[in-house]
Structure 1
Amino acid sequence: MKVDYIVVGFGLAGLAVAESLVSANRSLMVFDLPDQSASRVAGGVINPVILKRFTAPWNIDNFVHKAIPFYKNIAIKLGNSNLITDTPVVRRFNSVEEQNQWFESCDKPILAKYLSGSMMENNTKFLNVPFKLGVVNNTARLDVEELLNEYSVYLERQNSFQREIFDYDLLELVDQGVKYKGIEAKHIIFTEGYGVSKNPFLRELPIIGNKGEYITIKCPDLQLAYIFKFSMFIIPLGEDLYKVGATFDNRDKTLITTKAAKRKIIEKLDKVLGATYTVVDQVAGIRPTVKDRRPIIGTHNSYKQIHFLNGLGSRGILMAPLLAENLLDYIENETALSPEVDANRFKG
């Protein structure tokens, strides 16, 4: 069997690469064994602003312009409009000074389209909200796990998805590309997230694992129609369920949920939520991050048929679609990568 690309890993980065290849009419085979990856346990919040201090992330306009239409087009393709929903994100203020800082940020050109100058009244008695709420524009909620599940089925129907662990020992590098288990491809793209630490071809990539945990609560009284941001997020899932988190831990690299993380989330939640709730689930994932907080994409220095997209951190939902497009353009058209994401920035 011959294909243009083999893709290894199917979180948000892998999905973005796969959809970019499909849209470009390239043939592909994806290898992934779905597990508790960072993408699958992500909150799914499409949020264009760093809400701790009301600042704009790097390259945000370009990422937002690409991401939301990208996911909406996939939802149309898969016939499931519930995969992405336009959901407001609102920010709780802890002080008058913080609220004033919001208004100052609204006047900055880079933030004007994202931060609303009109405050929102708290509409539920169960949330401790001492001031009005700041509203973020151009936001949405993505059902990441269901999106990955449905798109993998879509690829399976095209004989383009294998649910198995990739065996690096069986990868053959040849003059015209790669061979793997009877499949010949011109290129192979690794989108494994923190799993790249086990990849013998790319283990030198400077990927740092950052563990995040969420809990899911059932709270019938809350009736929240928006994503509520305090020191964490409360994300409505439907049927009185809410995802709450996440934590950050750069020491623990396991996918085991911890009592300490659960306790930390609950302690913070109880300061703002006055309704009775039940914890019904807890999940953990390892976010792939880079020390300079920029993603890392490119081609292996010695093997020109090996490529990668990694280091998306906690903003993979926003960044993956555009970065996948950039990577494909780089591979096929030799279009230069931005120095801020090019892996060569770590040389020397």
Structure 2
Amino acid sequence: MVDYIVVGLGLAGTSFCETLRRNNKTFVVFNDRSQTSSRVAGGLYNPIILKRFTLSWKADEQLFYATEFYTQLEQFLGVHFNRRLSVLRKFASIEEQNLWYEAADKERLKLFLDTQLVTNNNPHLNVPNKLGKVLHTGKLNTSLLLDTYEQWLVEQGIMHYGTLDYNKLKFGSKDVVYGAITARHIIFCEGFGLTTNPYFKYLPLQGSKGEYLIIESKELKEESLVKFSLFLIPLGNDRYKVGATYNRGDKDNDITLWAEKEIINKLNTLLKCKYTVVGQEAGVRPTVKDRRPLVGKHPQYPNMWVLNGFGSHGIIIGPWASKALFEHIEMQRPLDKEMDINRFLPN
């Protein structure tokens, strides 16, 4: 008998497992590694939608909880996967620069938008105007985080590899049984894989494929995250991740020539130095039509829950939403109505 079965080990599943561990709950994990979006993600935590200079959904609540969550997780795992890096927004015009100043005057944005603009001193970047600096930003090495946490689960003997067979789940009034495992609750954190889950496939999970290029440049020597039409993300050792694309029509994890060409065309508007493409990655983000997470209880089975739909903001939403779901289950605290899946029930 355990408290929870957790299905999926991306950012959502890992955040929820860690929330369980910190609250002394017992659990087992099932994961088949079919979803790659958490692993190939750019890893940015950035509270601002930089296309419009607006705050992403509840980011002011989520960001500082998430950064403390990851700091404590680094200490627990004994690895360093969090780098505090500045995000610099390239301005296309003086008009855009003025819009930045206007946004920085707003109460909820002034904490994150620096009014002291940055002059570009890198001769290899095509930046004729100044840059705006976003505060309290950085990058997670998501692969290192997920691999290290998974290894800890293996060492505890609670990691199960392979695809969970939905047909073998049996539900009682106070428990759920899967083979030899009996649990109080089961949580589905399957990312885009939720679309094949017979219990939750009614939810409007759309999915958006994103692709990145990995480039190498000995000349560039840029240490900040630079936002132009894409993101230029320093990885260290003269390597950078560039992306990502958004493709709602493609739902697999295969890299494409189309994305490579699109990224290179945009990158060539920013860089004035030589570079080599050394890799390409792809994954399908779990996006939702109303751009809000999918969190809550199945309408028929009281011991079945979902934690999903974080889109491209999983790094800052994951810990916050995991805490909210845990407190909802264990303490009956209400879920935020904007992310509660009850919003999709028939009226």
Same fold flag (TM > 0.5) = yes
Is residue 187 from structure 1 mapped to residue 182 from structure 2 by the alignment?
Answer: no
Tell me how large the CA RMSD over aligned residues is. Answer: 1.0
The count of corresponding residues between Structure 1 and Structure 2 is 346
Structure-2 residue corresponding to 1:85: 83
Q: Deviations over 1:279-313 (max 9, x none)?
A: 11111111111111111100001001100011100
Report the TM-score when normalising by structure 1: 0.98
Poorly superposed stretches of 4+, deviation over 3 Å? none
Structure-2 residue corresponding to 1:55: 54
Query: Is 87-96 or 197-206 further displaced after alignment?
Result: 197-206
Structure-2 residue corresponding to 1:324: 322
Is residue 101 from structure 1 mapped to residue 99 from structure 2 by the alignment?
Answer: yes
Structure-2 residue corresponding to 1:253: 251
Report the TM-score when normalising by structure 2: 0.98
Shift of 1:108: 0.8
8 A Cα contact 2:90 2:226, kept in partner: yes
8 A Cα contact 2:35 2:191, kept in partner: no
Shift of 1:114: 0.3
**3-state DSSP class of the match of 2:117?**
coil
Query: Is 315-324 or 58-67 further displaced after alignment?
Result: 58-67
Shift of 1:141: 0.6
**Distance in 2 of aligned mates of 1:3 and 1:159:** 13
Structure-2 residue corresponding to 1:202: 200
**3-state DSSP class of the match of 1:283?**
strand
Shift of 1:35: 4.2
Shift of 1:98: 0.3
**3-state DSSP class of the match of 1:119?**
strand
Q: Which of 268, 271, 274 is the matching residue for 1:270? A: 268
Structure-2 residue corresponding to 1:34: 33
Q: Which of 111, 114, 130 is the matching residue for 1:113? A: 111
**3-state DSSP class of the match of 2:215?**
strand
8 A Cα contact 1:36 1:284, kept in partner: no
**Distance in 2 of aligned mates of 1:263 and 1:170:** 45
**Distance in 2 of aligned mates of 1:206 and 1:25:** 33
Structure-1 residue corresponding to 2:153: 155
**3-state DSSP class of the match of 1:188?**
strand
Identity within the alignment, %: 45
Q: Deviations over 1:57-110 (max 9, x none)?
A: 1211110121111111111111112x0011111110000000111111111111
Letter in 1 for 2:239: L
Shift of 1:36: 4.9
**Distance in 2 of aligned mates of 1:72 and 1:228:** 24
Give the unaligned 5+ runs of structure 2: none
Is residue 145 from structure 1 mapped to residue 143 from structure 2 by the alignment?
Answer: yes
Structure-1 residue corresponding to 2:21: 22
Structure-2 residue corresponding to 1:127: 125
Letter in 2 for 1:65: F
Letter in 2 for 1:291: K
